[in-house]
Structures are given as C-alpha cells and as structure tokens.
Structure 1
Amino acid sequence: MITENGHPISSSPREVQAYMKEANERLLGYVEFPFRTRLSFRPLIQFWKRKRKSAHAAEALLAREIIAKVEAHPELLEPVDDYTLLETHRGTVELLLAGLLPQALMDRKLTMISKPFDLRGIYFSPSLQELMQTGSVSFGVGKMDDLAKAISLTRASSMVLNRFYGQQVKIDPAFIFTVRPNDSALEQYYKSDLNIQFVEIVKRRPLKELSQKDINRLLSNIYDQRLWREMIPPENFEFHGVVRSNLIDVTEEESLSRLKYKLLERDAVVNRENILVLQQILRSYFQIQDLRLGLTAIDYPVENSVAHKYKIRHDFLADQHPNLLDPENAGSSYEKVCRFNDTLIVEDLTQVSNPTPIEVDLVNSGIRSLIVSPLTDERNRIIGLLELGSPRADTFNSLSLLKMKDILPLFCIAIERSREEIENQIQAIIREAYTAIHPSVEWKFVETSFNLLERREKEGPKAVAESISFDEVYPLYGQADIVGSSTVRNQAIQADFIDNLNRIKEVLSLAWEHLDLPILHQYLRQADKCMRDLGQGISSDDESRVMEFIRTEVHPVLDQIRYEKPELARAVDRYYECLDPVLGIVHRERKSYEDSVTKINEVIADLLDEEDRRAQRMLPHYFEKYKTDGVEYDLYIGQSLLKQERFSKIHLRNIRLWQLLLMCRITRRMAELNPTLSTPLDTAQLVFVYGSPLSIQFRMDEKQFDVDGAYNVRYEIIK
C-alpha cells in the first residue's frame, strides 16, 4: 500500500508507520540520516528498459508495458520528494514495483518498499501490516543496539568506497525485529534482508582524495563516526533509488543465539533470576507460551557423588524432594533417565501407569507434559538433569526431540562449567582455611609442580615430586600465651561440676521424700564424695569420672523418677534446663572461659594478619600462626624465599623491629580487651631471637614447613 510523507494513503494503518518511524530512529540512529536519501525510480526504470529484450516473453511484455507507461509520465524519471505523486500515478508505480513484489507471494511475504536508508516505507505487504499490528515491536542489531548509528553510517560510507574508490567492502549487519503479540508471552524474531540493487549514489562535490592507508584506517575503526564523516563527508553524496526489505523469520536461530550468549554468563545456571531468563528464551524457541524450565546438578551413579552440593537446584520438585534419586523414588521418570542415560518424554503424566511419588508430585505442582534429559560431561557421565514442563497434556512429543538436540550441548557445557567453578571455590576455601600454601612460597610450589608435569611426560607416572626446601632463612618466633590458662580452666570445670552436683542433690533429696528407693540415698552419698574430692583439686581422671557418674548413673535415675512420679517431673525438667544441650552437664563457667579464650585468639590472630599484610609489603616472607591457649607464630625471611626481590640484612633488622613493635601492640590490645571478657584473662608475650640462618623443608606428610637437618633441630628444641 502506497503512503505519502510517512503517512499512509488508502488503508495502510498508522500504527505501522509509527513502528517504522521508531525503527528509523533506533536502527539507523538518526531522525535525519547524515547522507541525503531520495526516493527515485530511475534505477528500477533502467532495469525494465533492459528487460524489454528479455528472452522470456512474459517478462519482455511486462517490461514494454511498464516503459510505455513511464514514458507517458516523465516526472517519474526524476527523484520523488512529493509523495502525492505516488498516488497520482498509482497504477504505474505498482507496475514498476511488480518485479520487486511478486503478487503470488505477497500474502505470505513480509515485505516493505522504501527509499534508501529509511524504514518509513511507501509500501507494506498485507502480511507485514498484520504482523506489526499484533503487538509490541522492538528493534535491534543483534546484541549491538548501541552501535546501530555507527553501523548505518559505515554501511552507507562503504558503498561510497566501493563505487568511487574501487574497494570491495561489505558491511551488512543483521537488523533483528522482535515481535511480541499483546496476548502472548512469546517473542518472535525477524531478520531484515535488503535488496539494494536499485540504489545509485550521486556525487554532489569533487571526491576527496583517499590513499589506501586512509581507507585501511577507516576499516580498522568502523565504529568511529567522527573519522568516517571526516574522510567521507555525507554532504558530498546522495543516495537515490528504492530498497526492498524482506523480513525472514529467524526465531529458532535467534533464540539459540541468545541462549548461547546467556549461558556464557557467570552463574548462568546458578541464580534463579537467570533461570527465568533462560525459560523465556526457551518459550520463544519452542513457541510454547506456558513452558517451564527445570535444571539441577546431580552425580550419577550415586557412588560418584561428591561431598558437597553445587548450588544448582532449580528442578520442579526442589522444595519437595531433597534428592530426586532417593531409593524410595526407584522407577521414577528421573531414575529411568539416569539409568538409561537418555531423554524421556511423557505426553501426559496423569496417564502414567504405576506412578511413583515423583510423578504424583509433578502433577500436583501443575506439570502434565514433561521432557527430562540427562546432561553429561565429556566422559558421558551424568552431571545434571534438564526438565521442560507444561501444564497442558501432549505439549511435548517425539518431534520435540529434534529441537532438544540443539540445546542439550549448550546446557551440558554450562552446568559443567558452573560445577567446576563451584568446586574451584570450595577448593580455594579449603586451601585458604585448612591447608593453605602461603602466597610468599606459592611460586615455588607452582615451579615444582610444572617440573613434575614435564618429568611425567618423559619418565611416566613413576616420576615423583622434588622436595621443597629453602636454605639460609632467618627464623622469627613469637607468642602471646594466656597466663595460667590451665589453672583457670580447671577452676571453671570445678565450679561447673560442683554446681551440677548440688542441683542433682536437690532433685534426689526431693525424690527421697516421695520414693522408697535406697539407691537414691546411695547416689546422694556419692555426690557428696565427688564434691569433697573436687574441693581438693581436679585432674583429667577426676573430670572423666565425675562426667561419667552424672551422665550414665544419675541421669537414668532422674528419667525414671520423672516417669514414676509425675509430680516430680517439673523438678527434673528444671534440672535438665540448666544443662548444656550437647554435653549434658552444667557448662556455664567453662563456656565463659572458652568464650574468653576464643575472643583473645581471634583478636590476636586478626591483629597478626593485619600487621603481616603490612610486613609483606616491606618484603615477602613466610608467615604461619597457630591458635592454642593464645597464639604463636613462625616467620622465616631470606633470599631463597624470594622469586624476584633482593634480601639484605637491613630487611632482617627491619622485620625484627617490626616484630617487637607488633608484640607491644598486642600487649596494649590485650589490656584494652581484658575488662570486656566474661572470664578475665591476661597474656604474656614472648619473642625468641635466633641469630643464625637455617633451612626449612615442606613435610609432605604433615603438609607444613619444618626445620631441616640435625643441626637446625637445636632451634626447635630451644623454642
């Protein structure tokens, strides 16, 4: 249908023009394109003139008819700026466009005719009009919407290079139209296919001289609009002609492309928000509006299971079944998929014979039609499951498998990568928190490991790793020890046991008044004896003996009292409420002591870490701390520990001064901390100065460094 000045003549809907105006400004990036463009039928007329002598009789006849009509209206040979001329010569224009618009295909083709670089068309096929009115339309250039301006300018300029500078440059970006009907959540994608053979470039000013170096510079900076406009001034050229644009449905291809792009993101299958985005893409890919996506990481067989989960649990029954492959779910859809390592399609879950709790719960959660596919690694081991579900029966069938083949490898790669990332994070935590290799010596471990790899290639698997040692390093040792920690600990245990035994005596005495059980009197006497013994001191034997008496002898009696005499139940319950729920004894004073020790250790350890970070900036060195009743640390510094830096005695004197200042800071911090502790504790700081260098070696069995050689053992003995 022909339009005038961007507004439709006859029945072309205004909505279509509005959409195309938006497209013109978004895709081309300009309300007015930098190059002047004019609607002109001259290139098309030249085409029909040549066809008058065509060997095809029908084509030649049509060409002669067209040219005869054009010659009767010579104004059509000139550029058309006043679109009312199109309505005046409607019949002739429609004949001219016949070659571009085969009438037999117009009901199915999504076609538009426009002037060059302008989407405000003069003709829209009926099917395109209908598409544009179905719902919201957005436009883009693949994944590069923000580069649309530069691409449009560069494309026009490249045509100038080809026409006037003898180049063979092809810049043909795929403009993607996204259409979503108003009553649907599905998106459809269309790619524009442009026919620009009826476009000519008119030179308005003398050509600017461009060397091949200049042209190469342009081609190396295709998004630099300022450079292109400087080298090829738009005001020097005009584009005349007509362009035919066909929209080709690429929903399946574009959905796959977007799926690949999304699955490349970090945490693509970990976060729930990303799963919902993937679900929307798959809805477009399958063209199923109510499609649901489920995804979970598993290890199958179960004996392959690792000791941790992967944080990838987005299957349909994640909230109902802790493990989809529990023995109680034997014979379920998921178990069959894993057993046979093949995709399973269930057209209607309500028709499954002998359903397991899995199928029942799937139906209850709104799933009627289901696809479950195994996700495998490169060794064909099952590492995950992909689910597609729909609340409508018979949504999925064997034809769905054809589309599944394209998406399964993408999900396999994504879930394997995410599992590896999570495993790496866990390994990093293990190294950091449990078996850390200190950063200052990590380079040596990397170097030794690489050497082992090379040796294994030459010598085979029998090659063993070299020992890792550092010679001529100076040791610095220090500790902040809790003063009298054993005494305070024993006093806390004594106080708790005495409190515990007093509470036992109260309950047993009350029970003695109501029950004629001689054994109660025996336990009362035994409790008195334990209290007298505790008053004289406590040993490790006393601790285990009293604890065994309370938990294995007294507590069963109290449970029996509560059962036989309900009126004494409250007294027994009050006693149990005073006990630690894990240890089963009174644990107040000892817990207070342990909390204080923990607090002291944490404060000192944090202070050591903070100060060591500063010292590492002075010169890298090996540092390791240990927590006991207080904190102690080993520090080694020397040239052999360094990969690049240079060590000198100045560094040694500097680090020793740093150590002394560090211990002073710890002393002050402990004085500030002491009043805040539930059990007041003091620390005594020690610095061990050892003037001779020694050697240290990494002990593979203990996974830590230790002094090496008989001579150096003297240092450990003194320490």
Structure 2
Amino acid sequence: MKIVTSNLNENMELPLQLTISFQKVFSLFKKYASEEFSNHPYHKSSLEIVEDFKNYPEELIEGFSDFSLLEKYQDQIDLLLDPLFPELLLLNEIKAASIPFSFTSFKFTTRFEQILNNAGEHYKLSLRNFEEDTMYIMACTFIMNLYYGFSIDLKRPFFFDIPDKNSGITKHYRTAFNGDFSEIIPTKNAPKITEEDYRELLDNFENIKIWKEKFPPGSYIFKGFGIMNLFDVTADEIISSIRTNLLRSSDNLNEELQHDLREFFEIKDLMLGFSIFTIENGLNQLRVKMSESTLFTFMSEISCSNHFCHHIVGKIFNQYESVAISDVEMYGQKHGHNPFYHQLHKVGIGSIILIPVKASNNKDLTIIEIASPRPFELNSINQNKLKDIISAFEIAVERFIEEQQNVIEATIQEHYTTIHSSVKWRFIEAAEKYQRELQEKNQDIKPDPDEIIFENVFPLYGQSDIKGSSLARNNAIKEDLATQLMLTINVLSEAYKKEKLPIYEELTFRVSEYLNEVNSGLKAGDEISILNFLKRDIYPVFKHAKRNHKPLRKEVDKYMERLDDNLHVIYEKRKNYENSVTMLNDPS
C-alpha cells in the first residue's frame, strides 16, 4: 500500500491523539447488511464484507496509531474502502483516505497516484503557508465544532503545491476534507468547554497559550479517518499571481510573468517579450521606442507593409486584436517567407501569440509576445485562456509607458538645458535613442547622448521675485500633496473592503509613509518622487478597482475630479498662490 506523509513536523503538538479506525465505515456495512435493507443495492456486497470481517483483527475497529499497520492490513482496508473509491471515477477524481492534521494518506485514486509518482519517489505532500500554532488552533476548532457543537468558521482551505518532474511545472491543488468517518473522544485530561470558554476563545485567536489551556496537548482522541479530495486550481492561482504581479511594480516583472505563464500554458521554456512602437505616417512606419523582445530588440524602424502580412497588419495594428500563429513554418509558406517569418525562424520560435495593447493617451502601441520553440503548443484555442487577464496587461502597459515617459523626461533634464515646448519633440527622440542604446550596449559602457543644436535660435526669458514667495509656494505644494495622499488612502481603504487583496494593504502603507514625509517637511525631489509613485503604482490599481467593482467607480471618479485637467495632480493651494502672485505682478 502506498503511504504518503506531509511536510508537517512529525512531532508537532496537537490537542488530538490521532488513531486510525474503520469502525464508522464498518457500521455502515452492518446497516446495509441487515434485513431492513434487503432490497438495497448494497445489501449483498455488505453481507459479504460483514462476513469476511469476522476474521479481521480487532484493531481495525478499535483503532491504532502505528501507521506501519496500514501496509500490514492493506487487503482488509482495500476491501472496506473500495466502495468509497468507485472504479468509474478512479481516473478522474484526485482522492485519498487521509488522517487530518497530519495529512498522512494511504489509499489513492489512480489519478492521485499518477500525480504523486510524477512528483518523484521521495515527495512529501507540501502544505502551503501553515504554521504549527495555526494547525493547533484549527484542531481545537475542529473539536469545538464536531464534539461540542459550537459554530466556529475557520474553514481556511489547505493548498498543496505538487511538482511534475516530467513537465517541470508545479501544480496547485485545493483540498476538501470529509470527516464523516471519524469521531472525537475526550480523555480524562480534557477540560470541558463551556459557553464562557467559547466566548473567550472567539476574541483570542492568536493567543496560543489560552488555546492550550482549554485544549491541552493530546487531551482528545481522533478516531477514524477522512476522505481528502484535491481540486486542481493551478489556472486560478496563476491568473491571480499574474494579476497581482501586473498591478504592482517590480524590477523583475518580465521574469516573474514569464514564470507564471510557463505554468499557465504548461510550457517550461516559454518565452515572454514586449515592444513599444510609435505609429507614424498612418501605418507606413513603426518606430521602436522600447523593446525587451526576442524579435525587435535591435530594430529601430519597421515598414509595416513590407515586414508583416496583411492579416497581422489588419488584426494587430488596425483592430488591436490578438493573433496566434500555431505553426511558424506553415505561416512562412503561406506568406512567401516574409521578413516577419525570417525573424521568427531565426530565433527558433515554433508558435507564438501576439497581443496588442493600445495606449489611451498617445500613439504608442505595445505588442506582447508569448512564444514557444515548438509548433502547435500556442494556438488560437489556448490563446483564449488569456481573456481573463488581458485587462491587467493593459493596466500594466499603461503604467510602464508612463514610467518610460518619466525616464525620458529625466534623461532630458539630466543631459540638456531647459527647453521650449515647440522643440521638445527633438529632445524626446534623442532621449529615446539614448535609452535604446543603453539597453543594447554593455552596461559598463554608457553611450553619449546626441548633441542638439538649433541654428539662429535665441532664448528669451525673465524672472522676478516676491519676498517670501518661495516659502508660500512650498507650503502650497505641501498642502496639495497631503490632500492628494489622504484621498488616495481613502480610495484604497474602500477598495480593500470590497476585495481583500494584499496589494491594497501594501499600497496604503506606502502612501501613509509618503504622507508622513510630506507632513514632516518637503525635501528636494519629494514632489516628483510622490507623483511618479502615484502614476506608476496607484493609478493602474485605481483603474483595476473601478473596472471590477461598480461601487468603487464613484470613489475613484471623486478622486479624479479633484485633479487638475492638465497637470493630473491636486492643484488647489498652488493655484491660489499663483493667482495671488499674478495679482501682485499685474501692472494694471
């Protein structure tokens, strides 16, 4: 008999003594073997089991805690439990007989056994995110529910992460536990739990000392076994992880998303990349602004009509719809081995999904590439699995483009003098070229930014000062920033009430830190740092919240209404300040 243990400490303290017994399931067979159920479908088989069981050892009924006896009595246990594991479902269900709180499991469906075999010879069931104290308290609530009848809801799901050595992918499973074939028996050392104890425990979940006083270690006996069902939630887990990663900012975002998508599509060498294009002259020319791509990294300009087939031009660049190429070689044959085919073939791509994301505030178009080295692994069918996360990709792309715009602005400020808006386009092009060269060259060798010269252009500017104006302006900035940060916290708090995502808590903490800094006094660069943080990390999350929860739309809209239409920040105190300065300087 295959016996699998878990990653829990074998000597872990519990209020329960774990005893394996088949008394309850045997009682069911005795029930169906009686004359009362002579017409029941189980009557005949139950009679045979009851008759055979006369020669079985008593400890199968009375119970035993030596788990090695499971193997000794394998034949008898199989006979008793086979009706709970119908043959027609052995290849479909992921089910096992198991002992709660230790997760030692000893009878499996065929599908479960295959999963465990693929995990490796020495694999132990790996329970996720459970501490010993939490397990102890869960066992106490189990006793309170089953023995005392107190209603306590601590139905926190258990999750197992089980690797597949063949595919290199880790699968995620949620468990459901059926305790119908078990009972709880108090020992002489078990204090009786009263209504007063129950109420005290309700307010002391994290006080393990109180729980151990009410339920001393080993003071109750668990007698029986449980049925554990596993449900594959890999897709749900990965979608959740992808959404979380896309909504937060990370230096390793591309790497983290690639890992998630490899599990999502079950392709261990899947490749993820993206490129940001500016569309010029209709669709005649694409300028590559930014690329972390296996396809476009070393390209600066692309002619749409010459490079891509008409189908891709229409779908990607006109309709902004995703395209799947399931067989790159077949694509090449159909489209005359065009330059795009040669690109795909050169880097060893066999199948690919292209996802266009159009920026809402400019002409930029981002193309996300999900590629496999083998044909048919990516196709128009599994492309549809991405529908649930496309909106999160759109939010992430918007944030990334804003971050890149900030980088371009910073590059201009670092390498060039103050510029007039009418010629800013020239500086933007130079800054984008500089950033592209930074990516392409060795990190130790920095490129030189282009020198920009305008012949026969002369700057004209002037400046006047009002005594005390700098202090007044700084106070105005401080008050506007503080107001905006407080409003941000309000929206995040409302969002957390609707959807308890950890990212809302994390962002609330970070906004509070910025608010404390502002209240303590502004330093050089604080304003830019805070506004960049809001654009990069907060606004994409607001879009997600607004899109997924109608009640939050009003909160987000109220926030956005307070922002200046042009500057996209709260500009109330500063506007009052500027109006005052204008009045003082007005010669009329």
- Structure 1 position 204, deviation (Å): 1.0
Letter in 2 for 1:419: I
The equivalent of 1:321 in structure 2 is 299
Question: Of 335, 342, 349, which aligns to 2:321?
Answer: 342
Q: Which range is displaced more, 71-80 or 421-430?
A: 421-430
Q: Deviations over 1:250-303 (max 9, x none)?
A: 322222232223333323xxx4x4322321221221122332112234456789
User: Is 1:102 the equivalent of 2:81?
Assistant: no
Tell me: CA distance 1:156–1:288, structure 2 relative to 1, closer, same or farther (3 Å): same
The equivalent of 1:368 in structure 2 is 350
**Counterpart secondary structure, 1:285:** helix
Check conservation: 1:440, 1:622, Cα contact below 8 A: no
User: Is 1:282 the equivalent of 2:266?
Assistant: no
Tell me: CA distance 1:125–1:240, structure 2 relative to 1, closer, same or farther (3 Å): same
**Counterpart secondary structure, 2:96:** strand
The equivalent of 1:249 in structure 2 is 232
User: Is 1:402 the equivalent of 2:384?
Assistant: yes
Partner Cα separation in structure 2 for residue 300 and residue 54 of structure 1: 78
Q: Deviations over 1:434-481 (max 9, x none)?
A: 79x968634535868999xxxxxxxxxxxxxxxxxxxxxxxxxxxxxx
Check conservation: 2:326, 2:380, Cα contact below 8 A: no
Alignment of 1:123-522 (within 5 A): 123-136=107-120, 137=123, 145=129, 147-205=130-188, 208=191, 215=198, 218-219=201-202, 222-267=205-250, 271=251, 273-298=252-277, 313-323=291-301, 329=307, 331=309, 335-336=313-314, 337-350=316-329, 351-352=331-332, 353-376=335-358, 383-421=365-403, 423=405, 441-444=473-476
Check conservation: 1:295, 1:314, Cα contact below 8 A: yes
- Structure 1 position 203, deviation (Å): 0.7
- Structure 1 position 403, deviation (Å): 0.9
Alignment of 1:528-677 (within 5 A): none
The equivalent of 1:635 in structure 2 is none
- Structure 1 position 200, deviation (Å): 0.9
Tell me: CA distance 1:429–1:162, structure 2 relative to 1, closer, same or farther (3 Å): farther
For structure 1, the residue ranges without an aligned partner over 5 or more in a row are: 2-11, 452-616, 624-695, 714-719
**Counterpart secondary structure, 2:242:** helix
**Counterpart secondary structure, 1:418:** helix
- Structure 1 position 93, deviation (Å): 2.5
Partner Cα separation in structure 2 for residue 426 and residue 213 of structure 1: 65
Check conservation: 1:193, 1:246, Cα contact below 8 A: yes
Q: Deviations over 1:484-511 (max 9, x none)?
A: xxxxxxxxxxxxxxxxxxxxxxxxxxxx
- Structure 1 position 138, deviation (Å): 7.1
**Counterpart secondary structure, 2:274:** strand
Letter in 1 for 2:5: K
Check conservation: 2:354, 2:368, Cα contact below 8 A: yes
The equivalent of 2:16 in structure 1 is 35
Q: Deviations over 1:533-589 (max 9, x none)?
A: xxxxxxxxxxxxxxxxxxxxxxxxxxxxxxxxxxxxxxxxxxxxxxxxxxxxxxxxx
Which is greater in Rg? 1
Letter in 2 for 1:168: S
Letter in 2 for 1:253: D
User: Is 1:69 the equivalent of 2:52?
Assistant: yes
Partner Cα separation in structure 2 for residue 227 and residue 431 of structure 1: 61
Letter in 2 for 1:67: V
**Counterpart secondary structure, 1:386:** strand
Letter in 1 for 2:241: R
The equivalent of 1:78 in structure 2 is 62
Partner Cα separation in structure 2 for residue 202 and residue 334 of structure 1: 69
Q: Deviations over 1:371-411 (max 9, x none)?
A: 11122567998752221112222332221232121232222
Q: Deviations over 1:689-719 (max 9, x none)?
A: xxxxxxx99657xxx96892699x9xxxxxx
- Structure 1 position 140, deviation (Å): 5.1
Letter in 1 for 2:16: F
Tell me: CA distance 1:41–1:210, structure 2 relative to 1, closer, same or farther (3 Å): closer
**Counterpart secondary structure, 1:235:** coil
Check conservation: 2:478, 2:522, Cα contact below 8 A: no
**Counterpart secondary structure, 1:313:** strand
What TM-score, normalized by structure 1, do the two folds share? Answer: 0.52
- Structure 1 position 247, deviation (Å): 2.8
**Counterpart secondary structure, 2:389:** helix
Partner Cα separation in structure 1 for residue 233 and residue 480 of structure 2: 53
Partner Cα separation in structure 2 for residue 370 and residue 83 of structure 1: 51
Q: Deviations over 1:644-668 (max 9, x none)?
A: xxxxxxxxxxxxxxxxxxxxxxxxx
The equivalent of 2:5 in structure 1 is 21
- Structure 1 position 202, deviation (Å): 0.8
User: Is 1:93 the equivalent of 2:77?
Assistant: yes
Partner Cα separation in structure 2 for residue 284 and residue 150 of structure 1: 32
Tell me: CA distance 1:345–1:84, structure 2 relative to 1, closer, same or farther (3 Å): closer
Letter in 1 for 2:115: L
Tell me: CA distance 1:620–1:92, structure 2 relative to 1, closer, same or farther (3 Å): closer
**Counterpart secondary structure, 1:23:** coil
**Counterpart secondary structure, 1:395:** coil
For structure 2, the residue ranges without an aligned partner over 5 or more in a row are: 420-468, 484-517, 525-574
Tell me: CA distance 1:331–1:81, structure 2 relative to 1, closer, same or farther (3 Å): closer
Partner Cα separation in structure 2 for residue 356 and residue 191 of structure 1: 47
**Counterpart secondary structure, 2:138:** helix
Question: Of 82, 106, 127, which aligns to 1:122?
Answer: 106
Letter in 1 for 2:320: N
Partner Cα separation in structure 2 for residue 360 and residue 416 of structure 1: 30
Partner Cα separation in structure 2 for residue 154 and residue 380 of structure 1: 55
